[in-house]
Amino acid sequence: MKIAIFVSGRGSNLEAILKARKQGLLTSDFIVISNNPKAKALHIAQTYNVEHYAFEPKPKKIFEEKVLLLLKEKHIDYIVLAGFMAILSKEFVKEYEKRIINIHPSLLPSFPGIDVHKRAIERGVKFSGCTVHFVNEHVDEGCIIAQAITSISYDDDEESLAKKILNLEHKLLPQVISWLEQDRIYIKDGKAHIKDEKNGSTFNPDIEVFNE
Ligand code: GRF
């Protein structure tokens, strides 16, 4: 399988994916695409000897045209948004319908968008986490594939919560990519399900695995 990872900044999720690849837990060929030529993530791609490309983000139409050309040229099967800080156009999403996944640092549908940890703490929720979902034309609204949770304690602040959730992200995203590689994710009645590895029946990922 050929997967393009879209990044914009720090790249810690990218690193978790490339580490999993190095350890043999993932088998895909990856390329990295950034809309920020200065993204630290590009150095991570370089360190892992992964092909990487950066395009100026504006105008968005030109950015997307260049990216689509590259994706076709490289025969990309799936796109993983790993800290990609731009909203893809409806037309772009249509080209890769049900083949784009995103990681979001909250338990969707709670707290879509930005400033999620601040809003979670202000709202006083007791649990938060991260969500991997398919991307559709609405931001953070595509079908949910998997989630991982953590509790929020009274002394957590934005920074400590972000750290806890980032640790979960680094486990959940490679896990979902591995399910994609094994063709175990399917959508039925508008919901994503994971097939059981052994007998093909629907499997309920054990969220305890990710609980911290
Ligand atoms: C992560 O929290 C991810 O959920 C969000 O953006 C952040 C990216 O972090 N979409 P990194 O660039 O992977 O370190």
**Domains, the chain, with CATH or none:** 1-96 (3.40.50.170), 102-212 (3.40.50.170)
Active site residue 104: yes
- Give the closest residue (by CA) to ligand 1 atom 9: 83
Q: 13 C-alpha to center of ligand 1: Å?
A: 6
pTM over cut 0.85:
yes
Q: Which residue has the tokens 């938060």?
A: 128
Q: Which of 104, 117, 133, 170 is catalytic?
A: 104
Main-chain dihedrals φ then ψ at residue 106, nearest 5 degrees: -155, 170
DSSP 54: E
**pLDDT tens string 30-56:** 999 999 999 999 999 999 999 999 999
Pocket of ligand 1 (CB under 6 A): 9-13, 82-83, 103-105, 166, 169
* Interior/surface letters 151-171, b for 16+ CB within 10 angstroms, e for the rest: ebeeebeeeebbebbebbbbe
CA gap 100, 30 in Å, rounded: 14
Q: Where are the alpha helices (DSSP H) in 9-106?
A: 12-22, 40-47, 60-73, 90-95
Which residue has a Cα nearest atom 5 of ligand 1?
83
Count of beta carbons in the 10 Å neighbourhood of residue 4: 23
Atom of ligand 1 nearest to the CA of 102: 10
Report pLDDT for 206. 53
CA distance 176 to 132: 8
What's the confidence (pLDDT) of residue 211?
Answer: 45
